[in-house]
Amino acid sequence: MRKSSLLALVGAFAVAAALVIGPAASAKPTKVMAGTVVIIHDQEPPTLRGAWEDNNLLATSLVTNNIWYGCEIYNSNAQFVPRLCTSKPKIVKRSPLTIRFTYKASAVWSDGSPVTAKDFRATWKVFINPHNNVVSRTGWEDIRSVKGTGKTVTVVWKKPFADWESYVASGPYQAKAIAGKDMNQTFENSIPVSSGPWKFQSWQKGVQITLVKNTRFHVYRPMKFTRVVFRYILDTNARFQALKAGEGQAIQSQPQLQIADFLKDRKFVVIRKPDIAFEHVDLQFGPQGHPALKKAFVRRALTTGINRQQIADALYRTIAPGLPSLNSLIYKPFEAQYQNFWGRAYPFNQARVINILKANGCTGGPARASASNNDIFSCPGVGKLSFRFFTTTGNQLRALAFEIMQRQLKSVGINLEARFQTGGVLFGTTLPSSDWDLIMFTYGQTPTSKITSKDLYACGGDQNYGLYCNRNATALLNKVPLTLSAAQRTNLLHQAESKYIVKDVPSIPLYSRPAFTIRSASLHGPLVNPTTEGMPWNISDWTS
C-alpha cells in the first residue's frame, strides 16, 4: 500500500467525523398514534407504479409488495413460501414448460371480489404490451399462454425458462382496476385495491405514505396494527435522530456509520445479515457518456486506480468489520459459486494506472502518484479524463465512498465531478436516460436474479443503461435463462464474466453490503429480509 493511498484514507475519516457530528434534525418529534407503526425510510417513491422505467426503486416495492400480494413471497431466509396460493406452483409438463398454481379460496381483493386467473392474465398482458414502459419484459414475453377459469392458473412458456417461479409467484394486478387504463399514467398517487395485509390510505408528498389494515385479508394472519406509516427523511443524521426521538419504531437502513451508536443502545435492537444486494459503479458506453469511456484502457485504468478494499475497510470497520470487497458482478462472497475474477484482474496499483495511460499516449498527468496532485491526464481523441459521477444525495456512506474514490483517482491524474441527486430523479430519470459517465448505486436482488443477468450485461438488455455490448458475452448470457441445470448456468455465467465482462469493465463491483434492520426494543417482529421483499414481508407478525 502506497503512502498516498494512506493519505486518502485519513481524509475520508476526517469527513466521516464531520458527517456523524453534523447538525441536529430540524423537525420536531411527532407523537405516534395508538395502533400505528412508523417505518422511517431514506427514499420516497416518485409514484406507486413499481417496476417501471421511471420508478424501479426498492422504496416503492416496500409499499406495494403488501398491496399486490404474491402467490409466494420470499421469507427472511430468501426462500419462497406460499401466500395467496394453496401451495407452491408445480411443473405439470416440461415440454413445453407448463406451470400450474391455484389461488386460495380466501384470496380476495379489498373490495370483496376474488383473486382469479383473470387477474394474473391481465398482469401478463401489462408486461408484454409494448406501449407500457416497464423495466423489463424478460420472462413475461417468453410466456406463450395464460389460461384458467376461477382460481386455477396454467402458464405455458414458449421455451424453457429457468426463473419461472419468480414470475408465477408475483403479485397480480386486479384486472378490474386496470381495465382500459393507460398503465404509464396509472397509480401515480394511489392504489384503489389490495390483496395483501394492508391497503393504501393517503400520501402526503415529501413526508409520508399511510397504509391501513386490509380487513378482508385472510390468506395469512391479519395485521395486528391498524395503520402503517412510511415516513421519508432524506438526511442521514435527521433520519437516525428521528428514530432516537421516537418519531418511528423501525428502519430498514442502508449501511451508515450512525448504526454503530444503536449497537450500544438498549432501547433498540439492530439485526444484520449478508445482503443479496451489491454496490457498484456503472460506466457509460453510449453516445451521451464521456468518449474516453469507450476506450478499454481507460476503463481498466479506472478500475486499477480504485482501492476497493480500502473503501470497504474505511466505511464499514465500525458496523461490519472485515467486509470484503466484491470481486464478481454475478455472485456474492457468501455463495459457493463466487470466484475472485476482479481481484485477480485489477489489483490496486497506482503506478500501473499511470503507465497504462502514458503507454496509450495520454499526457498532462503526474509522473507518479501523489495525494496533492492536481494534474489531470488528457488522451488522444477523447480529451481530459474528467468524468461526471452520479449517485444519490443524503446517503453519507455513498458520499464518503465517492470522496475516497475521487482522492484515489485524482492522485493518478483522473478527475471525478460529483453529481448527487435524489433517488427519484437518479433512478427515475438520469439512470434510464444513459446521460451520465459513472453512476454508483445498489442493485437489490433475489436469489434467482443471476438467471436474468442478460438484462444488465447483454447487448440490448432491458436494464443495460450503460449500453455495454459484447456479442460473445451476450450469446452466453442469453443461454442462461434457457438452461434448467443450475450447474450449467453457473458455467455459462463464469465464462461470460471471466472471458469478457471483466476485460470490458462495464461496471466496477464494490462490495456486497450487509443489510440492517433497526427496531425499537418495544416493537417485536421486524427482521432482515435480504431480498427485494424487504423488512415488511412479515408485517402480520409485528407486535408492540
Task: Return mean pLDDT, the chain.
Answer: 93
Residue 279's φ and ψ, nearest 5 degrees, are -90, 140
Type of residue found at 378: S
User: Is the previous residue joined to 96 through a cis bond, with omega within 30 degrees of 0?
Assistant: yes
Provide the 10 A C-beta neighbour count for residue 527: 16
Provide the 10 A C-beta neighbour count for residue 393: 16
The answer, yes or no, to whether residue 18 has pLDDT greater than 70, is no
Residue 16, pLDDT score: 30
The answer, yes or no, to whether residue 14 has pLDDT greater than 60, is no
Helices 471-479, 486-496: crossing angle, 10 deg rounding: 170
Confidence of residue 9 (pLDDT cuts 50, 70, 90): very low
Exposure of 366 in the CB half-sphere (CA atoms within 13 A): 20
Provide the 10 A C-beta neighbour count for residue 321: 8
For 263, the 3-state DSSP assignment is coil
The answer, yes or no, to whether residue 26 has pLDDT greater than 90, is no
Provide the 10 A C-beta neighbour count for residue 394: 19
* Region 162-182 average pLDDT: 97
b/e code 353-387 from CB counts within 10 Å (16+ = b): bbebbeeeebeebbeebbbebeebbbbeeeebbbb
Nearest to 366 by CA among 311, 398, 334, 410: 410
Q: Cα 90–124–115 angle (5° rounding)?
A: 70
* Region 374-396 average pLDDT: 96
User: Alpha-carbon distance 137 to 135, whole Å?
Assistant: 7
Confidence of residue 394 (pLDDT cuts 50, 70, 90): confident
User: Alpha-carbon distance 357 to 363, whole Å?
Assistant: 8
Q: What percent of the chain has pLDDT over 70?
A: 94
Length of the chain: 544
Nearest to 132 by CA among 181, 167, 168, 99: 181
User: The C-alpha cell of 50 is what?
Assistant: 413499481
Residue 33, pLDDT score: 64
Residue ranges per structural domain of the chain = 3-16+276-512, 68-187
Residue range 51-96, pLDDT digits in tens: 999 999 999 999 999 999 999 999 999 999 999 999 999 999 999 9
Of the listed ranges 6-10, 116-120, 478-482, the one predicted with least confidence: 6-10
Residue range 210-228, pLDDT digits in tens: 999 999 999 999 999 999 9
Residue 27, pLDDT score: 39
> Which class is domain 3-16+276-512?
alpha beta
Residue 285's Cα: distance from chain center in Å?
A: 21
Residue 227's Cα: distance from chain center in Å?
A: 27
User: Alpha-carbon distance 540 to 147, whole Å?
Assistant: 32
* Region 246-261 average pLDDT: 94
b/e code 243-269 from CB counts within 10 Å (16+ = b): bbeebbbbbbbbbbbbbeebeeeeebb
Alpha helices in 70-161 (DSSP H): 117-128
Does the domain at 68-187 match CATH 3.90.76.10? Answer given as yes
- DSSP structure string for 23-90: PPP-SPP-PPPTTEEEEEES---S-S--SBTTB--HHHHHHHTTTS--SEEE-TTS-EEESSBSS--E
Residue 3, pLDDT score: 28
For 337, the 3-state DSSP assignment is coil
Q: Where are the beta strands (DSSP E) in 160-207?
A: 198-204
The answer, yes or no, to whether residue 405 has pLDDT greater than 60, is yes
User: Alpha-carbon distance 163 to 492, whole Å?
Assistant: 15
- DSSP structure string for 463-499: T-TT----HHHHHHHHHGGG---HHHHHHHHHHHIII
Residue 142 to residues 127, 165, 482, Cα–Cα distance (Å)? 11, 13, 10
Residue range 421-476, pLDDT digits in tens: 999 899 999 999 999 999 999 998 999 999 999 999 999 999 999 999 999 999 99
Give this prediction's pTM: 0.87
Residue 294, pLDDT score: 98
Q: Cα 257–258–261 angle (5° rounding)?
A: 115
User: The C-alpha cell of 32 is what?
Assistant: 405516534
User: Alpha-carbon distance 147 to 465, whole Å?
Assistant: 34
The answer, yes or no, to whether residue 15 has pLDDT greater than 80, is no
CB 511 within 8 A of CB 325: yes
The answer, yes or no, to whether residue 21 has pLDDT greater than 70, is no
Residue range 188-202, pLDDT digits in tens: 999 999 999 999 999
